[in-house]
């Protein structure tokens, strides 16, 4: 098994764990954690493809990842702010109950 | 002297010269400049806005007097001409010109507007907008009297309705809304036909210029081209233009909008409507219908003479029956304006008939123009007097709401009496000369019509004296019963005094006006031939 | 004394006009200024008129004119002008002289009136307009002044305008005379149209000169009459209105509502004389058709008969009046009839002679009546007066002189000579003698009613408190009476048949040809007998047995109650006109009003309804046709939207699940497709 395949297996596992966590948990913070896991799985993929590509340019993969981490940080901040807002509103953070945005 | 400074020269500027001082444009647009200024400055005090409106409304009078100074009455063609190509595709020119007829009416507008504003000095409801509308309507009326191209002539013609509508509706009496709608819809209805007529005329001739159209009419081109349209079209074009003008004058029986519009309008509005706007229709007859459709008008005159006579006689008799003083004065306007049309129709009637006296035609046409000016003065003064009565009686203006006003307010009674006698054509006051010339002309052209019109003179005397007797004579009664009925204040004297002074001056010295129009009228009467 | 040139003739009417302007512009408190200006202007005008008379008498046959352009009309100009001939000059002198006296009288009479300043303003305006009529050399200028006379009389009759009767009388006077004026206007228009001029004399082109008159008689107008006949009769209409001739005399008695000096000025000296003057002025036109044999009617014949009817009718009605001023008013109507009669039978100089003498003695009578009314605190009913001869000696004496002049008491009084001239002319007329008989009958009646008037007013005992306390009027009022009384006697000797100086001058003859008094002695004797008869009958009925109480019955009314009631009601003319002319007039007004209100307004309303109906049709078509389609379309769109929005559950887990499933499906599809 090549190192690339190993990395991809690891990131797939990580993604699945994150997906299951996001789908199965009802605590919104845990859902957010799951989403973070899936994001990081994607980041590992970026790094892996960059590292093992035939002719890696110096900055491409890292740049993507740094960018992605920055966006994820912002997203997490917004997500947590939303969570706090939801908590203030309904005194808990259960995702099933926050269904008032239906069309 | 001012004319020399401005390098104004009526004679040489008969050709369009761009460098010439555009005095006519200035006359038309100076009130609009004032209107724009007033509209922009929202926060000004009422007294300031009144004064500003008055000052700007005096602009055309001052400019008109300058033009009068440089005007050469001996020339028949328009003077101070401004002609610029405006819309190339339609062959539309921005074409202004001033001849004796226009000059007389420009001066009339210049006099009546400030006087009407003075008479409305006490208007408390938004005096700024009142001034704006008044300046707008003044500019539009001046545009009508000076434009020589149908395109912007019609724009001015229709534009004058808009301020009039708001003046009646917003500052008028209890029935004002209805009267305003009736007035505007009726007049627009008439002008719609006129627009159609001119559209057809344009299709036939390719020009909208009045002077060119008149020339084309004189050499028979228009008649031939319209006849080429076939069917009822030649007549329909004439009828369309005729309807637009007849409603505006108004010619009997198109006059039913007039009494309520004049009665419901605010005092200044009534003064302007009767003093200036009613002249727009007669002006249209003289400037457009008669020169452009001489043959069609001639063919219609037997019927039209009857309508004008009906206006003279029935207008006066209907006035006798009115108890609302404003409606009474309004009907007297129908009567007086019908004299103008009677004279014109008589001239047209006699055109081409054997034994036409050019002298009679000259007299009739001079009389028409003098009557236009004189009626403007006397009817405006009468409306102003009724306005004074109304303000004293808390809005009442019935024939029977007063009594013995002469005891309470002798100066007012004197001025109102002079206006009344001017209106009934007393010699020595302005109304007489015009009426005498009209009668002299009409008698020479169609003696029967003159004889019938005499009943109008009699009925006018009866109802005006009834007005005077009921309101001013007898014991003090009605609104004048208590001591609170005061004589005129300074601001109420201001509009009446110039009007009354002019009545005397023009009554004794009609040459002032006759000298301006005589060569023009003589030339008209000298070319009375049908194509 | 130097004369006044015709170029300066305008000064005569202009001065009173200036006085009127001063009067109009002074405040109410400036009454002495207004009165002073009026009297001064009138006095100066009188002196100027005397100057004009000197000029005119130097060349009595000449018509001196001064024409000027008023305004441009066509190739030429419209011209007006002044005219100076003996007729103008005599009229000017009379109007200004009598006017001055009346003005002075008014000083006393209007002493207590708050509006006295206005009164003098109007009086001056009136005098100015009247003088304008007299000096005009153009029918138009005459008409202008004529109408101004009408205006001034309107203002003066209605001077006490707070009285409804005065206001109504003023209006009636104006409207009635205007009816006549419309005839005058039409005549003037016709004259202008056929001759191209309105100047009386214009170096051969004036309308009263031979060329023009020849052209006018040569033309035939309506119904076979000569053009000059028709025009003359139309002009006569104006005179009928102004001079109170039958059938337009109705305004004159009502006009007595004005202050008495006004009655004297309007009804004696001037306004009513204007009509007679007009016809005398245009006499060449009126008589132009006399030479025509073939015409059915001469204009002057109509004038003569109207005059005769008026003379008789006025005298008859005067018999039954009880108001001192109304008796005089109807006597004026009657005397004006005489004047018209004189013109009609061809002797306009006799008419003018009578006009002049009548102006003086009638002004005297009116002012005398004014003096009585003033003294008796505005009591005008002769039945309530009485016994004034002792209390008001000057007034009585002068009134008696006026009465005798009017009645035509022979030889001493002017009225006798002027009336004699008229009767003589009527006798000479070869068309008919009916006017003569009417005139002779009026002579009896005049003497009769004047005797009655004097007997009732001045003799017997005072029959009311007012007349009991009467006292002589102040000097400003009695002095004019005395002067007028002297004139009422002296003036007759200007035109006696033995030395007809006035007639000769009016006709432009240089020398005076007297006749022997015996020439017309028969007629003169007859009229003297008739005057005596009238005086005797009057004295027999009213003087012998004097009235005791104001309510005691009139002896004549007791004898003929029906006739006297009919005459007292002025022959029911007012009722007749109310039933015909007024009704017709108001019917016309109603017709015009109804036509407007219902017929024309109805048409407009109908058109508006038509437009409204079109609008309704349009709206229905829009709503049921076009709008329905749009509505259906948008409804289905909305349904689709609803359906889709159900997928939006708001359940974040659900969304995630869908995303995950979708992702898996996508991966599978890519894997399966991507394998190839």
- Residues C548/C126, Cβ–Cβ less than 8 Å: no
Q: Give pTM, 2 decimals.
A: 0.83
- Residues B444/C196, Cβ–Cβ less than 8 Å: no
Chains with ≥3 Cβ pairs under 8 A against B? C
Interface predicted TM-score of the whole assembly (ipTM), two decimals? 0.88
- Residues B445/B346, Cβ–Cβ less than 8 Å: yes
* Cα C565 from Cα B304, distance rounded (Å): 52
Percentage of chain B beyond pLDDT 90 is: 30
Instruction: Find the largest Cα–Cα distance for chain B.
Output: 72
**Per-residue pLDDT tens over the stretch B476-498:** 887 777 777 788 888 888 889 99
Mean pLDDT of chain B: 86
Among A26, A31, A101, select the one facing C650 at the smallest CB separation: A101
What is the SS3 assignment for C237?
helix
Residue A15 belongs to what domain range?
Answer: 3-98
CA B95, chain centre distance (Å): 22
- Token pair in block for residue C114: 């708050």
As for how many domains chain A has, the answer is: 1
Chain B: give the shortest CA distance to residue C5, in Å: 23
Inter-chain CB proximity C660 and A96 less than 8 Å? no
pLDDT at residue B55, as a whole number: 92
pLDDT at B380 over 90: yes
Percentage of chain B beyond pLDDT 70 is: 95
Cβ-Cβ pairs closer than 8 A, B with C, add up to 153
Contacts of C648 in chain A (CB under 8 A): 101-103
Say yes or no: B450 contacts chain C, CB-CB below 8 A.
yes
Inter-chain CB proximity B320 and C589 less than 8 Å? yes
pLDDT at residue C503, as a whole number: 76
Please report where in the chains the tokens 């708050």 appear, as a residue.
C114
- Ranges B80-89, B134-143, C566-575: which has the least confidence: C566-575
**Per-residue pLDDT tens over the stretch C291-345:** 776 666 788 888 889 999 998 888 888 888 888 888 888 888 898 998 999 988 8
pLDDT at residue B111, as a whole number: 93
pLDDT at C213 over 60: yes
Please report where in the chains the tokens 């289905």 appear, as a residue.
C636
Neighbours of C574 (CB within 10 A): 15
Q: In the structure, do chain A and chain B come into contact, i.e. share 3 or more CB pairs under 8 Å?
A: no
Contacts of B320 in chain C (CB under 8 A): 585-586, 589, 592
- Token pair in block for residue B448: 């029967």
Using a 10 angstrom Cβ sphere, with 0-12 exposed, 13-18 middle and 19 or more buried, the burial of residue B12 is exposed
Please report where in the chains the tokens 């005549």 appear, as a residue.
C187
Inter-chain CB proximity C649 and A99 less than 8 Å? yes
pLDDT at B9 over 60: no
pLDDT at residue B19, as a whole number: 47
DSSP B248-283: HTTPTTS-THHHHHHHHS-HHHHHHIIIIIHHHHHH
Compare B145 and C385 and report the one with higher pLDDT.
B145
Handedness of CA B176, B181, B184, B189 (dihedral sign): negative
- Chain C contacts to A (CB-CB under 8 A): 644-653, 656-657, 660
Compare A97 and B286 and report the one with higher pLDDT.
B286
Chain B: give the shortest CA distance to residue C592, in Å: 5
- Ranges B133-142, B315-324, C343-352, C558-567: which has the least confidence: C558-567
Torsion angle of the four alpha carbons B299, B302, B303, B305, in this order, in degrees rounded to the nearest 10: 120
Instruction: Determine, yes or no, domain membership for A103.
Output: no
Percentage of chain C beyond pLDDT 90 is: 3
Neighbours of B458 (CB within 10 A): 18
pLDDT at B431 over 80: yes
Cβ-Cβ pairs closer than 8 A, A with C, add up to 34
Q: What average pLDDT does this structure show over C583-601?
A: 85
The pLDDT confidence band at residue B12, using thresholds 50, 70 and 90, is very low
The pLDDT confidence band at residue B531, using thresholds 50, 70 and 90, is low
Q: What is the DSSP letter of C595?
A: I
Q: In the structure, do chain C and chain A come into contact, i.e. share 3 or more CB pairs under 8 Å?
A: yes
What does the domain layout of chain B look like in residue ranges?
295-531
**Per-residue pLDDT tens over the stretch C511-551:** 777 666 666 777 888 888 888 888 888 888 777 777 777 77
The pLDDT confidence band at residue B499, using thresholds 50, 70 and 90, is very high
DSSP B126-184: -HHHHHHHHHHHHHHHHHHHHB-BHHHHHHHHHHTHHHHHHHHHHHS-TTHHHHHHHHH
Among C648, C656, C657, select the one facing A103 at the smallest CB separation: C648
**Per-residue pLDDT tens over the stretch A54-84:** 877 777 888 889 999 999 999 899 999 988 9
- Token pair in block for residue C606: 């109908």
pLDDT at residue B215, as a whole number: 86
pLDDT at A98 over 70: yes
pLDDT at B528 over 70: yes
pLDDT at B115 over 90: yes
* Beta strand B92-98 pairing with B79-87: antiparallel
- Residues B233/B200, Cβ–Cβ less than 8 Å: yes
pLDDT at residue B146, as a whole number: 92
CATH number at residue A13: 1.10.287.3510
Q: What is the DSSP letter of C580?
A: I
Mean pLDDT of chain C: 83
pLDDT at residue B14, as a whole number: 42
pLDDT at B13 over 60: no
Percentage of chain C beyond pLDDT 70 is: 97
Selected residue of B346, B361, B442, B465 to mutate for chain C interface (largest C Cβ count, 10 A): B465
**Per-residue pLDDT tens over the stretch B15-37:** 434 446 888 898 999 999 999 99
pLDDT at residue A70, as a whole number: 92
**Per-residue pLDDT tens over the stretch B508-523:** 898 988 888 998 888 8
The pLDDT confidence band at residue B136, using thresholds 50, 70 and 90, is very high
């Amino acid at each position: 098994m090549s190192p690339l395949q190993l990395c991809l297996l690891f990131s797939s596992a990580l993604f699945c764990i994150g997906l299951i966590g996001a789908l199965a948990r009802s605590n919104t913070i845990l859902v957010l954690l799951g989403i973070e896991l899936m994001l990081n799985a994607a980041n590992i993929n970026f790094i892996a493809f960059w590292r093992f590509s035939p002719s890696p340019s110096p900055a491409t993969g890292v740049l993507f990842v740094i960018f992605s981490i920055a966006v994820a940080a912002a997203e997490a901040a917004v997500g947590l702010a939303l969570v706090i807002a939801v908590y203030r509103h309904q005194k808990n953070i259960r995702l099933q109950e926050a269904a008032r945005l239906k069309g | 002297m001012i004319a020399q400074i401005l390098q104004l020269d009526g004679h040489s500027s008969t050709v369009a010269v761009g460098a010439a001082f555009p005095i006519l444009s200035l006359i038309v647009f100076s009130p609009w400049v004032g209107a724009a200024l007033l509209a922009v400055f929202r926060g000004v005090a009422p007294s300031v806005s009144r004064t500003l409106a008055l000052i700007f409304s005096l602009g055309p009078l001052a400019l008109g007097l300058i033009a009068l100074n440089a005007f050469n009455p001996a020339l028949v063609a328009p003077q101070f001409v401004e002609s610029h190509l405006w819309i190339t595709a339609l062959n539309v020119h921005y074409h202004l010109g001033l001849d004796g007829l226009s000059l007389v009416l420009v001066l009339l507008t210049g006099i009546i507007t400030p006087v009407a504003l003075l008479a409305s000095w006490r208007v408390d409801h938004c005096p700024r907008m009142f001034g704006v509308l008044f300046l707008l309507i003044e500019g539009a009326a001046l545009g009508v009297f000076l434009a020589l191209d149908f395109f912007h002539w019609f724009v001015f013609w229709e534009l004058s309705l808009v301020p009039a509508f708001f003046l009646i509706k917003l500052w008028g009496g209890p029935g004002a809304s209805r009267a305003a709608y009736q007035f505007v819809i009726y007049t627009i209805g008439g002008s719609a036909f006129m627009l159609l007529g001119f559209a057809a005329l344009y299709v036939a001739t390719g020009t909208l210029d009045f002077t060119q159209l008149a020339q084309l009419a004189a050499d028979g081109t228009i008649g031939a081209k319209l006849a080429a349209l076939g069917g009822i079209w030649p007549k329909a074009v004439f009828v369309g233009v005729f309807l637009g003008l007849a409603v505006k004058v108004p010619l009997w029986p198109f006059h039913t909008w007039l009494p309520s519009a004049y009665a419901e309008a605010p005092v200044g509005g009534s003064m302007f409507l009767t003093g200036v706007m009613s002249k727009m229709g007669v002006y249209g007859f003289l400037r457009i219908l008669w020169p452009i459709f001489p043959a069609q008008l001639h063919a219609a005159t037997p019927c039209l003479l009857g309508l004008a006579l009906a206006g003279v006689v029935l207008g006066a008799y209907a006035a006798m029956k009115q108890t609302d003083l404003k409606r009474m004065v309004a009907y007297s306007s129908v009567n007086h304006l019908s004299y103008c049309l009677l004279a014109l129709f008589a001239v047209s009637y006699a055109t081409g008939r054997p034994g036409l006296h050019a002298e009679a035609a000259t007299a009739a046409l001079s009389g028409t123009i003098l009557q236009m000016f004189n009626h403007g003065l006397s009817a405006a003064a009468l409306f102003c007097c009724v306005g004074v009565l109304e303000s004293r009686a808390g809005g009442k203006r019935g024939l029977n709401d007063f009594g013995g006003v002469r005891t309470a307010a002798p100066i007012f009674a004197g001025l109102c009496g002079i206006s009344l006698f001017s209106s009934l054509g007393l010699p020595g006051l302005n109304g007489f000369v015009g009426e005498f010339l009209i009668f002299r002309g009409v008698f020479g052209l169609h003696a029967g019509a003159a004889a019938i019109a005499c009943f109008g003179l009699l009925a006018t005397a009866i109802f005006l004296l009834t007005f005077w007797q009921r309101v001013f004579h007898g014991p003090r009664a009605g609104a004048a019963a208590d001591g609170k009925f005061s004589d005129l204040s300074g601001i109420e004297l201001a509009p009446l005094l110039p009007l009354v002074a002019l009545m005397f001056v023009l009554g004794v010295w009609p040459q002032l006006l006759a000298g301006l129009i005589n060569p023009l009228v003589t030339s008209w009467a000298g070319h009375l031939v049908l194509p | 004394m130097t004369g006044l040139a015709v170029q300066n003739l305008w000064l005569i009417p202009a001065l009173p006009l200036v006085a009127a302007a001063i009067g109009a512009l002074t405040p109410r408190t400036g009454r002495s200024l207004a009165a002073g200006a009026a009297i001064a202007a009138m006095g100066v005008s009188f002196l100027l008129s005397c100057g004009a008379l000197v000029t005119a008498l130097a060349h009595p046959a000449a018509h001196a004119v001064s024409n000027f352009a008023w305004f441009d009309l066509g190739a030429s100009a419209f011209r007006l002008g002044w005219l100076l001939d003996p007729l103008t000059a005599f009229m000017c002198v009379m109007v200004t002289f009598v006017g001055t006296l009346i003005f002075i009288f008014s000083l006393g009479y209007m002493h207590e009136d708050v509006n006295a300043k206005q009164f003098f303003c109007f009086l001056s305006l009136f005098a100015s307009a009247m003088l304008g009529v007299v000096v005009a050399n153009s029918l138009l200028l005459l008409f202008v002044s004529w109408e101004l006379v009408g205006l001034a009389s309107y203002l003066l009759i209605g001077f006490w305008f707070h009285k409804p009767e005065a206001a109504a009388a003023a209006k009636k006077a104006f409207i009635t005379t205007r009816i006549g004026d419309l005839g005058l206007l039409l005549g003037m228009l016709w004259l202008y149209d056929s001759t191209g001029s309105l100047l009386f004399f214009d170096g051969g082109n004036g309308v009263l000169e031979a060329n023009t008159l020849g052209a006018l008689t040569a033309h035939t107008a309506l119904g076979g009459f000569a053009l000059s006949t028709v025009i003359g009769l139309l002009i006569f209409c104006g005179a009928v209105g102004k001079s109170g001739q039958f059938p337009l005399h109705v305004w004159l008695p009502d006009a007595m509502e004005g202050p008495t000096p006004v009655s004297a000025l309007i009804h004696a000296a001037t306004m009513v004389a204007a009509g007679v003057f007009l016809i005398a002025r245009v006499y060449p036109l009126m008589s132009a058709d006399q030479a025509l044999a073939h015409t059915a009617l001469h204009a002057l014949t109509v004038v003569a008969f109207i005059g005769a009817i008026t003379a008789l009718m006025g005298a008859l009605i005067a018999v039954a009046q009880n108001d001192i001023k109304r008796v005089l008013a109807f006597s004026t109507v009657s005397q004006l009839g005489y004047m018209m009669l004189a013109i009609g039978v061809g002797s306009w100089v006799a008419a003018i002679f009578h006009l002049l003498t009548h102006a003086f003695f009638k002004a005297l009578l009116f002012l005398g009546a004014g003096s009585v009314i003033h003294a008796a605190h505005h009591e005008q009913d002769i039945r309530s007066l009485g016994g004034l001869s002792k209390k008001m000696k000057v007034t009585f004496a002068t009134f008696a002189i006026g009465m005798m002049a009017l009645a035509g008491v022979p030889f001493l009084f002017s009225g006798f000579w002027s009336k004699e001239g008229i009767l003589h002319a009527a006798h000479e007329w070869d068309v008919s003698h009916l006017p003569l008989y009417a005139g002779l009958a009026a002579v009896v009646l005049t003497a009769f009613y004047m005797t009655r008037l004097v007997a009732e007013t001045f003799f017997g005992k005072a029959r009311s408190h007012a007349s009991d306390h009467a006292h002589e009027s102040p000097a400003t009022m009695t002095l004019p009476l005395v002067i007028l009384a002297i004139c009422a006697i002296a003036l007759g000797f200007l035109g006696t048949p033995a030395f007809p100086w006035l007639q000769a001058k009016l006709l432009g003859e240089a020398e005076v040809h007297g006749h022997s008094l015996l020439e017309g002695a028969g007629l003169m004797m007859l009229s003297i007998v008739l005057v005596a008869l009238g005086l005797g009958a009057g004295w027999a009925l009213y003087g012998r047995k004097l009235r005791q109480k104001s309510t005691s019955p009139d002896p004549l009314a007791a004898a003929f109650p029906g006739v006297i009631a009919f005459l007292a009601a002025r022959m029911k003319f007012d009722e007749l006109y109310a039933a015909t002319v007024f009704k017709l007039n108001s019917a016309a007004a109603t017709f015009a009003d109804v036509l407007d209100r219902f017929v024309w307004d109805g048409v407009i309303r109908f058109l508006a309804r038509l437009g409204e109906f079109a609008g309704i049709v349009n709206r229905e078509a829009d709503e049921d046709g076009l709008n329905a389609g749009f509505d259906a379309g948008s409804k289905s769109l909305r349904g689709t939207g609803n359906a889709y929005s159900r997928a939006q559950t708001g359940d974040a887990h659900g969304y995630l699940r869908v995303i995950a499933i979708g992702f898996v499906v996508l991966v599978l599809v890519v894997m399966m497709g991507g394998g190839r």
